[in-house]
Structure 1
Amino acid sequence: MDIWAPVQSAAAIAAAGIAAVAAWQARTTATKMTAIESQRRKSELSPRLRVTCEPFNPGSDGVLRLRVALIGPPGLDRLDRLTVAVRNDHHRRGEGEFRQHMDGPTQEEIKQHVWGPYRFTPHTGPDDAQADGMGRQVVYNKSLPLGEELPYQLEHTQPGHWMRSLTQQSWLRERGPVIRLAFNAEHQDHGSWYLPCEIDTAAMPVTVQVPQQ
């Protein structure tokens, strides 16, 4: 009988355990490094957009053309989907505790209303893409190659039906000249990016680079 057999067996089990732990650590490290590299690559490929806002036609009153071009980076050949949305003056409009007063607006009406000076003209947009009925956003589901642009149409917003004391002129004066937009750019291999921007329409035409500094 080999008196060392139990010791050798225990040593073998310990060695196997150490090897298993080492293999697990190696896999974990590799997974983390892959995730880090993927995130670094995604950051490098963050889209750069050129956004231009101008009167739709000479002398047009309250109707604007918005042009959105993909201008970089060179390693990003295209976008597979681009959603453009109008942001409210405050990101929590219609959120939190709410109690309707008399014949005032419902919480859903407050959420749906566009709280800014401009919205997309409903049912307009590039190619087959169309703005929703509220003029809140346009989803472009086709490929946008590097160096190409998409045209959109904007129009003045109106005060809510419950704002009986506000005229159109008063509403727009209260809203100010700044359009707040959000771009959600997507690529099937690299993921998605959220890119907010603000455009001051006090003097047009105006062009901004996104991301903004």
Structure 2
Amino acid sequence: MLHLKNKSVYLIPFLLFASPALAHNVKTEGNVASNFHIEPNHNPKAGEPSKAWFALTKAGGEIISLDRCNCQLMVRSNNQTIAQPALKAISAEQYKGIPGAEITFPKAGIYTLEISGAPKANNEFNAFKFAYDVTVQAGAAPQSSPVAQAPQASPAPQSQTNWILPVAIGAIALSVAAWFVKRTVKN
């Protein structure tokens, strides 16, 4: 058992750096799957615009673009709908024409984004409803309106220090792993 435990230490750095790859949330219902992401990095801040998108696919991986879907998005807080932002066809990562919306959350807390839809053409895919919880961090001062619909001319600049925490955690993990390896080799 001790022998296996020592070798598992080598996995720590890979697990730490692999975890950001799990940032997308995938759910399925019937023959439809939804890959959800909210920018920036699944870390929206209150009072600052965030871009949410939903890569909808049929079984087999065929993209369901917004022009093929009667889709609707609701933003909920404490089981109450606080906004219904208009969905727009956007391109994100390898997906083109998928439903997306810009949302500005009024305050920090947990919100639920619920996307539902049905095909515009009969029997193209099953009707669906997906709900995703989003934790919103404190940010800019709250706004009177929870959702900003108009695109902004210049989005808020991203912090250039977003890399510090993952690098620090990785360095600590590598140091701990090296210490365990050195300790094991001495014994």
Which structure's residues are more often strand, by fraction?
Answer: 2
TM-score, normalised to structure 1, is: 0.36
Scaled by the length of structure 2, what TM-score is found? 0.40
